[in-house]
Structure formats: C-alpha cells, structure tokens
Chain A
Amino acid sequence: MLKVKNVTLRFGGLVANNDVSMEVRDGKITGLIGPNGAGKTTFFNCISGVYTPNEGKIIFEGKEIQGYRPYQINKAGISRTYQIINLFKKMKVYENVIVGMHSRLNSSVTDSLFKTKKEREEEKKAYEKALGLLDFVGLLELKDEPAGSLSYGKQRLLEICRALASDPKILLLDEPAAGMNATEKNELDLLCKKIVERGVSILIIEHDMKLMMGLADYMYVLNYGKLLAEGAPLEIQNNPAVIEAYLGGE
C-alpha cells in the first residue's frame, strides 16, 4: 500500500534519515519505534509532505508521492496527527473535524458565497458525518466546546478524529498516547483496532512499548536516522541490537 524506498533526508551536513525503507501493509498496524532523536517524526514529515527527501521514493498506491505538498498528501489519502498537538484551538470540536474533511468537500467558492442547495446539503452531510466520527472516538458530548478547552488526552483523540475525517487509507499517528493515563491508553488501544476494522491502515510512532506490543502487527526500529531492525513485535523485543540501542541511549 505505502512503500518507502531508500529515503534519505539531510539538513545541511546532518543526515536525519539515512536510506530508510519500509512498508505499510493494507489493513495492518505498523509500528515505528526508536530512541529520542532517532528521526521518527522527521520520517513522518517526509511521508506527509512537510519535507521532501533528498533521495529515495515514497510510493502510495503505485504513485510516487515524494515532493507532494502536505495538502496534496492529505487529499491523496494519507492523513496524520501531530506529536505536539496542532488543533485549531478557538474553533469548536465539531468544526475541527469538518476542517479535516476539507479535501472531500466539493462546493466551490460561488456555492459558498450564495449558499446554494448543493452547498447546504453538503454542509448538512458534513455535520452529520462529523457527529458520527465524534461518536466513534467518544467525544460527541463535547462537540460544541472550543477545542482548546479539552483535556490533553481528549485533544489527542480529537486529532485522531480530525485526521479520520478525510477518509484516509493510511493514518499516521505520532505518539498518540503521550500524556494519556492508563485508562485513556486502553481506550486508545481499542480505538486503533476499531479504526483498522474500518479499513484504515495505521503507521504509528509510540514510546509506550507495552501499548506497541499489543497493537503492532509489524515493527520497524530507527536509530540515528537509520533502520536498525524490523520484524514482528516479539522478534523486535528480543533483538539484541534493539536492546543495545535502547539501553545505550539511556
């Protein structure tokens, strides 16, 4: 589904991602781990179009998408959440979700200016869809609150909800459990599985190894910008190089 081939990204003399190759398989949860500063978020930024890799290819559904701008990546069917929460804080919760639908709404500027029938119908559908998604992640009751007023864990859920709004084929989750308590983490675990059932594949960065072991079908390990290991969670857990990298890092 998504194939990354030999991606290298340099900032001046610094190599942030070095010859990284990986694959996100259809209907699976793929995990990406690594010590702090291993280049995980940078790698996400490459896939989601924030950076253009210096070398290598990113192939999504048979099309090369490296060099696309973020909004084009979103439209193509890959959406993401952010490590540092990036919500539209003053907008209401449900409005955040509808913004997430942007690339799926077809009304033109003139439709908007004159509130044509087409536009009104589309807006109504969008609103209902937003409510459905909010219900799905369990935020329906908070739909009219300003996004900035939500608790940290709920803001993370809203980010996921907003990302789902564009009907992505792949969802990139950047440390979704950061700042969550144990209950919230359990809910997140369930939610991810439910998302996959909807036919969305997931690529997830997460530090919580326990969560990751239960979630991921396949894992990749980054260290110093390079791919260190890959395999099923159990293999990774027992891989001496991975243990070394984590222990050495601490």
Chain B
Amino acid sequence: MNLRLKNAISNRKKDLIILLVLLLMPVFLNVIHFEYAFTIVSFIFIYIIAVSGLDIVFGYSGQISLGHAAFFAIGAYGSAILHKYTHIPVILTMIIAAFLAAVIGAGLAYPASKLVFHFLSLATIAFGEIVYQLVAQSPYEITGNFTGFFTDSVSIFGYKLNTYSKFYYFGLFSVLVFLLMKNNLIKSKVGRAFIAIRENSHAADGMGINVRNYKILAFAISAFFTAFAGGMYAHCVKFISPDTFMYKQSVMFLTMLLFGGTASRFGPIFGAVSVLILNEALRATEKYQLLIYGVLLLIVIVVLPGGLYGAYQDVAVKFKKKGVNKC
C-alpha cells in the first residue's frame, strides 16, 4: 500500500512536470524564434483528439472504422457553416457540430453494429465516401465545394485566437479535457463494457451488457471526439476544403493510432506526435508520403503490434526487471 502511494505521488510529480513543460513551451519557442513549431504543435493537438476518438471505437471496443474522416468533416463543416449563418460563437458551434456527429455516428452504428468487422469496414468506407461526396458537391454549394470554405478563428471572451501561437493554450486545454474524459470513460462501467465486448462479445452479453447499445455508444462518443477535432481544425486553419476529408485521412488516423499503440492512454499521443513530426521532416519528399505511410503501417502490423507505446512499455518493463535483479 505504501509503495502504491509512493508510486501515485511520483506519477503525480511526473504529470506536473510534463504539464509545466507544456505550459512554458510557448515562451521557449518564442525566445528561440521557432514560430513554425506552433503550427506543428497545433496539428498535433488536433490529431491527438481525433485519434483518441478512433481509439475508443477501434482500440477499446474492437470495431473497425475506415470512415472517421467523415466525422472530422462533419465537425469542421458543421461548425463553420453553423457559425457563418447563425453567428453563434465558434466555441459553441464546435460543440454543437460534435453533438451532431455523435448523433450521426449512432445512426450509422445502429445498423452497422450487426455487421462483422470486414463488412463494418466497408460500411464505414461507404459512409466516409458519401460524406466526402456531399461535402465536395453540396447542394447550393453550402460547403463551398472544391473552392473551399473560409471561416473564423476561435474567440474566447472577445480575444481572437487567430494565430497558431494564440491557438496553443486553447489546443492544450482541449487535449487535456478530452484525454481526461477518455481516461475517465475507460476506467468506468462503460469502458469495461467496451473492453468486454472486444474480448468476448457473447460473454459480455451474458454478463448483462447490452452489446448493441454499447457498440452504438462507442461510435457516438468516438464521433464526438473526432468531430470536435475537426472543428478545431477548421477554426485553427480558418480554411477547409474537401481534400482534407478523403479516405486517405481515415487511413491516416488509423496509421497514427496503430503506430502509437491502440487501447492505451498514451498511444494516440505517441502516434500523432511521431507521424506528424515525420511528416514535417519528410516535407521535401512529399512524393513518397503514401509509400512511407504504407511502410509504417506494415512495420507496425508485422513487427510492432503494440505500436510505439507498446514497445516503450516493453522496454520499460525490462529495465525495471533489471533494476530489481540488481537489488
């Protein structure tokens, strides 16, 4: 018990240090005049939330989605369009659009939850394509179609977050809130039900879990996360066009999740950070981007099924064991 308490305290300490570093990072970046980093960090924040959403559906409840770009799109366009026509503050339209995506996600999952994963993947691809087509060729050009759509930045009490560096704290705050919510969820009755369904859906049913409802719930919550990230994207970049919401984007989310590690607290963070930094590092070789994703995915599937975070944990466990042996 004492050891546990000690561990808890040292974990707390670690968390505080990380938080402090994150809070002071902008100061540091400004001092060294590395403003471009804010752009990358903003995207990292956005993708962490989007990929965490996918983790709820794929990592924890064991359902595949190859159409999460659609929820990203619903969040982005939903919020941008709503803001344009109603002038409701952006922060609210983002939340409304995310709720809308959750409802649509539930509506998709209701029939889809009956399909085995192979065909669930096809259904989600079809869903993703349908949303993409509607965005790219919308009735009355409400989305701006291929020309794209300009939108406002987030403003908090009248203060506009119109640059990437001003977006930083909002992004950080959102990530913390969403990761906290995800963690709470996983460590609750609902999260246990998700995992139980992934592990053995028949036994889950026998233990009083309404499997279908929970599958639908997983999709809805997941859609909420990813759509909110979409809203962040729209109002951070201030311009959206259909290209961002293609099938490729759905695969990108999956690549990040698998590369980081599924069903873990830090997997989505590892995944978003590593893939986006890699992306930046290889910006000059954009020609090879798909090739690189393909190879990354293959490596993860064949050699590193736990992703980076899984590998990190394995190494950490080995180190600890060595330490104990020495004592």
Contact = CB atoms under 8 A, between A and B. Distances in A.
Question: Does chain A touch chain B in the assembled complex, meaning CB atoms less than 8 Å apart?
Answer: yes
Interface in B175-203: 181, 184-185, 187-193, 195-196, 199-200, 202-203
Closest 10 CB pairs of A and B: A103-B208, A112-B188, A74-B208, A86-B203, A88-B199, A70-B205, A102-B208, A115-B184, A112-B190, A105-B189
6 contacts: A88-B195, A88-B199, A90-B199, A105-B189, A109-B185, A113-B184
A162 B207 CA distance: 8
B210 interface: yes
A48 B206 contact: yes
B190 A109 contact: yes
Contacts of B221: 109, 113
Contacts of B209: 71, 99, 102
A31 interface: no
A99 B204 contact: yes
A112 B184 contact: yes
A88 to B, nearest CB: 4
A89 to B, nearest CB: 6
Given A71-B207, A86-B206, A115-B188, 12 more contacts: A79-B207, A82-B203, A86-B203, A89-B199, A89-B200, A90-B195, A99-B207, A99-B209, A102-B208, A107-B188, A109-B190, A123-B189
B54 interface: no
A176 to B, nearest CB: 15
Contacts of A69: 205, 210
B100 interface: no
Identify the interface centre among B184, B187, B189, B192: most chain A CB within 10 Å of its CB. B189
Interface of A: 48, 50, 69-71, 74-75, 79-80, 82, 86-91, 95, 98-100, 102-103, 105, 107, 109, 111-115, 119, 123, 162, 166
Interface in B31-66: none
Contacts of B73: none
Given A90-B199, A109-B217, A114-B184, A70 B206 contact: yes
A114 B188 CA distance: 10
Chain B residues touching A, range: 20 to 34
B199 A166 contact: no
Nearest to A113: B181
Contacts of B190: 109, 112
A112 B181 CA distance: 8
Contacts of A113: 181, 184-185, 221
B181 A88 contact: no
A51 to B, nearest CB: 12
Identify the interface centre among A86, A102, A107: most chain B CB within 10 Å of its CB. A102
B207 A74 contact: yes
Identify the interface centre among A50, A69, A113, A166: most chain B CB within 10 Å of its CB. A113
A89 B204 CA distance: 12
Contacts of B200: 86-89
Interface in B247-274: none
